[in-house]
Chain A
Amino acid sequence: MSTAELTGDLRSRVRPDRVHGSLYTDPDVYARELERIWYSTWVYVGHTSEVPQPNDYVRKHIGPQQVVLTRDRTGAIHVLHNRCSHRGNLVCDADRGNSSSFRCPYHGWTFANTGELLGFPFNQGYGGAQAKERLSGLGAAPRVESYRGFVFASLAAEGPTLREHLGAAAERIDQLCRLSPEGEVELTAGWVRHEVTANWKMLVENETDGYHPQFVHSSIFSISGSGIGALYSDKSTAVTRALGGGHSENDLSPEFRRLGVPMGWSGTPESKIPDYAAAMRATYGAETGDEIMINGSPHVMIFPNLFIAEIQLFVIQPVAVDRTVQHVTAIQFAGAPDLNRRLVTQCVGSVGPAGMLLADDAEMYERNQRGVAQRQPEWLDLSRGLARERTDEHGFTVGTATDETSMRAMWAHYLTLMDPA
């Protein structure tokens, strides 16, 4: 089967046990993904802790779209397109700021941080101030919702609610927030931006691929005495779980429970963060507090762009069919200053362009992108663990720690969006 014959027919390119290489390289597929995934479904944009005060704003993105996440005077959150309604100029330059209104530098058109047009210079040319009524303001995402501070937007006016979209993944956000003695996550540590020459789905698939760590990350595991490698082996009791909606996780908690040590998952012994451990037990009670600290933080990929990896949070931004930016920050827990500092230090060592983990992942994405451009054998195999998958007590499909259950589920969901039957 040649690539030419496949044009437009995505179902023939996604099979239960394999996908066609053109899905990572075909500009037409990418264009359709932007329309049917990135500009239709719920996409993670930012966190309310990034705009804590009335009139705060931060620049964000929905794939290649530049948006501004604002909190208005009343506290409501908006996601606005960064595009003046006059001549299409970019309105906001700064990464972040505080302003009730935005003024375009080109001709001075001025907009409220709700997107409403407030006015323009020399308005007689438009017949006076009342022209505001007929001229448009900044484009706004028609649907913006947040879940526990995580703000998502959909550029489609209609569709499933955010809660429906998140499904079981919402519980993973709950699990993350419970690690704060105040029940809240704060994304206040700033961002590192890492660009890779690879299609965005290479990243999504890798995030919950438990097969690669012992190969790609063996260099750092071997010298740091990290136990992470063992978590992703065939002997591990950890599982890969498809959570529905294209979301997936590596659930390492069975291993952490076996270990039974509070904060054992984090690599930071409790003795180094006594204030945090005390605050957790004070909030949740000794038994539940210990349980939360033993179970650890989720490792979950929320389709299509939010990856929570225990102590760090990644936002995946496709910018071209073969270029993707990964934005990463250290997760900070409200009420946990001693833990938070350690998380920044740990995270900086691991992620970003020089990260001792992520630079190796990035190398694999890029090698993969160059590899799939080669003509034969056309397909990428997804069959690992297909024969040993099971359904767990909650009805989710589960594979072993190293199985490709999450990828198969991602592609199945992908088809429902890209090529609805």
Chain B
Amino acid sequence: MDDVGVVASEFATVRVSLDTQGNSPRLRLEDLRSGAVRFLDALELESIVWAPEGFLRELLDPSRHRWRDDGSEGCGP
């Protein structure tokens, strides 16, 4: 696994690495404040590149996935 680095601001801290365990490389994102991990494959990354701005804005709404009233958390990897 190649460590790319830590992407951090005062609001979040995420370790980014390139995971090569699978049959193709994947991006591994680890939220260092909670330990949660998410893998993103090439097609997923490409889809994010092409997603409209509103897509990310929706993700940034805390109630959207992480802090939901129904207790369900955002899906893991």
CA distance A108 to B57 in the complex (A): 15
Give the interface segment out of B21-29, B39-47, B65-73: B65-73
Known: A73-B53, A122-B69, A124-B69. A110 touches B60 (CB 8 A): yes
Please tell me if the beta carbons of B63 and A129 are within 8 angstroms of each other in the complex. Answer: yes
Which chain A positions have C-beta within 8 A of B75?
none
Which chain B positions have C-beta within 8 A of A103?
11-12, 62
Interface string of A60-97 (1 = CB under 8 A from B): 00000000000001000000000000000000111001
Please tell me if the beta carbons of A123 and B11 are within 8 angstroms of each other in the complex. Answer: no
CA distance A110 to B57 in the complex (A): 10
Please tell me if the beta carbons of A122 and B56 are within 8 angstroms of each other in the complex. Answer: no
Known: A103-B62, A112-B57. A122 touches B67 (CB 8 A): yes
The binding surface of chain A is classed by DSSP as: mixed
Please tell me if the beta carbons of B10 and A92 are within 8 angstroms of each other in the complex. Answer: yes
CA distance A270 to B35 in the complex (A): 57
Partner of B66, one of A97, A118, A121: A121
CA distance A108 to B64 in the complex (A): 12
Which chain B positions have C-beta within 8 A of A120?
62-63
Which chain B positions have C-beta within 8 A of A109?
62
Known: A73-B53, A100-B56, A112-B57. A121 touches B11 (CB 8 A): no
A99 interface residue (CB < 8 Å to B): yes
B9 interface residue (CB < 8 Å to A): yes
In this complex, what residue of A is CB-closest to B63?
A: A123
Please tell me if the beta carbons of B69 and A97 are within 8 angstroms of each other in the complex. Answer: no
Which chain A positions have C-beta within 8 A of B67?
108, 121-122
Known: A73-B53, A118-B57. A123 touches B9 (CB 8 A): no
Please tell me if the beta carbons of B62 and A108 are within 8 angstroms of each other in the complex. Answer: yes
Which chain A positions have C-beta within 8 A of B66?
121
A119 interface residue (CB < 8 Å to B): yes
Please tell me if the beta carbons of B62 and A98 are within 8 angstroms of each other in the complex. Answer: no
Which chain B positions have C-beta within 8 A of A121?
62-63, 66-67
CA distance A112 to B57 in the complex (A): 8
Please tell me if the beta carbons of B9 and A94 are within 8 angstroms of each other in the complex. Answer: yes
CA distance A222 to B12 in the complex (A): 53
A333 interface residue (CB < 8 Å to B): no
CB A326 to nearest CB in B, in angstroms, measures: 26
Please tell me if the beta carbons of B10 and A94 are within 8 angstroms of each other in the complex. Answer: yes
CA distance A97 to B10 in the complex (A): 8
B2 interface residue (CB < 8 Å to A): no
CB A71 to nearest CB in B, in angstroms, measures: 15
| Further pairs besides A118-B57, A129-B61: 12, Cβ < 8 Å | A93-B10, A97-B10, A101-B60, A102-B11, A103-B62, A112-B57, A118-B61, A119-B60, A121-B62, A121-B66, A121-B67, A122-B63
State the A residues within 8 Å of B (CB): 73, 92-94, 97-103, 108-110, 112, 118-125, 129
17 examples of A-B residue contacts, CB within 8 angstroms: A97-B9, A100-B60, A103-B62, A109-B62, A110-B62, A112-B60, A119-B60, A119-B61, A119-B63, A120-B62, A120-B63, A121-B62, A121-B67, A122-B67, A122-B69, A124-B69, A129-B61
The 6 closest A-B pairs by CB, nearest first: A119-B61, A121-B67, A123-B63, A124-B69, A121-B62, A94-B10
State the B residues within 8 Å of A (CB): 9-12, 53, 56-57, 60-64, 66-69
